[in-house]
Amino acid sequence: MNAPLDVSETTLHDQVRDEGFAFVHGPHMRTMVEHLAPLSDWDAFVASWNALEPDTYLAATGRFRRRRHATFAASRFGRVEPRPHQAHFQTLTYNRLQGDIARWFEPVLPEIATGATMSAILDFCRDFFGGLSPEIGQWHVEVHQFRIEATAGAAGEPTPEGSHRDGVDYVLVLLVDRENIASGTTTIHAPDGRALGEFTLAQPLDAALIHDPRVFHGVTPVTPLDPAKASHRDVLVVTFRAA
């Protein structure tokens, strides 16, 4: 399922409401986000993925993931405000590998968390998800920077827990960068396991918009195109949950 480049935000609303997800091409995603504010620090935003710290909670070996985490609060028509750094917590219902653990990750760098690009992305999410659920007045927002690395001997696993839900209301998965990476296909499934769609986030700002209670999502392992060179897949994941 690929949304055309000129798809309207109303059409994306309809897709998420009716199907539980939508894929957005990077150029269109940039247009929608920049309608709110210019991505004036985009280069610094992308470069901040080079400063991510290892995910020490991974329950399996051979899967190398780096990340940072931040928490925000948002109101339906108000600002998205940073909150003090806190643990990320999921129950075993939603994460059978790392559930029921308060996981403390290094915080998103302050200049990135409050920078122009992050602010514009969060404002877009507030407006888009708020339009789908106007009855929700207050949101708990979490931001995750992920880098998945792969080598010739070990594929990188963006979702080692497999196809899953996050236990929130809405999810944005936004590609920031891919370097020397093959595969990494996003798959969408119904709760009964039926395949509903798949697509690959391949270009900067390619995005998935997901209604988490409706569908499961996962990403296939990634491998290096050239085994002799470094490889990574960088994504931003934003979750919105009714506060």
- What is the full per-residue pLDDT of the chain (243 aa) written as tens digits? 444 444 788 899 999 999 999 999 999 999 999 999 999 999 999 999 999 998 876 655 435 889 999 999 999 989 999 999 998 665 555 555 555 577 788 999 999 999 999 999 999 999 999 999 999 999 999 999 999 998 887 888 777 777 888 899 999 999 999 999 999 999 999 999 999 999 999 999 999 999 999 999 999 999 999 999 989 999 999 999 999
Distance between CA atoms of residues 22 and 9, nearest Å = 11
**Residues 84 and 157: beta-carbon distance below 8 Å:** no
Closest CA to 149 of 103, 108, 187, 180: 180
Closest CA to 209 of 131, 111, 110: 131
Contact predicate 31/217, CB 8 Å:
no
User: What does the alpha-carbon distance between residue 13 and residue 1 come to, in Å, rounded to a whole number?
Assistant: 15
How far, in Å, CA of 43 to CA of 166, rounded? 29
Residue 92 DSSP one-character state: T
Give pTM, 2 decimals: 0.90
Residue 228: C-alpha distances to residues 62, 88, 150, 151, 180 (Å):
18, 35, 11, 8, 10
pLDDT at position 1, please? Answer: 41
